[in-house]
Amino acid sequence: MKKALVTGSSRGIGAATARALAEKGWRVTINYLNSREQAEALAAELGTEAIRCDVASSREVREMFERVGGVDLLVSNAGIAWSGLLTDMTDEEWNRIISVNLGGAFNCCRAAIPHMVHEKAGSIVVVSSVLGVHGGSCETAYSATKGALIAFVKGLAKELGPSGIRVNGVAPGAVDTDMLSCFNAEEKAAMVDNIYLGRLGNPYDIARAICFLASEDASYVTGQVLGVDGAMVI
C-alpha cells in the first residue's frame, strides 16, 4: 500500500484530502498542530495515526518523518491566514506566516525527498491559493507566501524531475472551511458574486484535484499549479 502524508489534515481541505486518498487505497498519516480531537477522530476513521507537528519547526518535521518513514506522496497543505493592513502587522505575525506557509513546505519537502530520490519515484502536491496568483487586498502577507509556493513548485519540479519525482500545486479559490469563518453570510454572498460558477468551493473540490495530481492519470504532469477556483475574479 502506498503511503501519503497530508499536513494540516485535521480539518478542511486537509481532512477532505486524507479521506479522498484513503478511498483510493492510500495509507494516509494525519498531521495536526492544535485540533487534536478532530485529528485523532479522523485517524481512527481511516485506521491510521495522527501526529502532532508544527511544520514551521525543522526539528519537529524531522521527528515526524522519522516516525512515519518514507512516503510516496506528500501533500503540503498546512497553512495559516492573516487579514488586515500590512502596516498593522507585527514582526511576529509576519515571521509566523512566512515560517508556516513557506517554511513548512520547505521543511516537509526536504524531509520527504531523500526517500523519493532513493525510490526514483514519488509525488509532491503543494496547496497554494488563488491569492498567490492574483494577490489580495489586506491579504498581502498571505498572498506573498502563496505566491512564493508557486515558484517553489516550479523550481522543485525541475530539480526533482530527473529523479522521477513529480511536483505540482493547487490554487484554491474561496473554499467554505474554517478559514472563512471570520466572514458573515453577507460577505460570503459578495464572494459568490465574483465566482462564475456561482458558489463557494467545498473541501472535496480541492481534494479531488489533489488526488488527480497524485495519481497515475497525471504521470506526465509536473511543475504545474492547477487553479480550482470556480473562475473567481479577484
Which positions are catalytic? 142
Name the maximum alpha-carbon separation found in the chain. Answer: 52
Q: In sequence order, what are the residues at sequence separation of 6 or more whose Cβ sits closer than 8 angstroms to the Cβ of residue 90?
A: none
- Alpha-carbon distance of 141 to 217, in angstroms, equals 34
CA distances from 169 to 128, 150, 152, 157, 222 (A): 7, 7, 10, 10, 9
Q: Tell me which residue has cell 473567481.
A: 232
- Alpha-carbon distance of 230 to 182, in angstroms, equals 21
Amino acid at 68: V
**Type and span of the H or E element at 227:** strand 225-228
Amino acid at 225: V
- Cβ burial, residue 181 (10 Å; 0-12/13-18/19+): exposed
Within 10 Å of residue 182's Cβ, how many Cβ atoms? 9
At 100, list the grid cell: 508556516
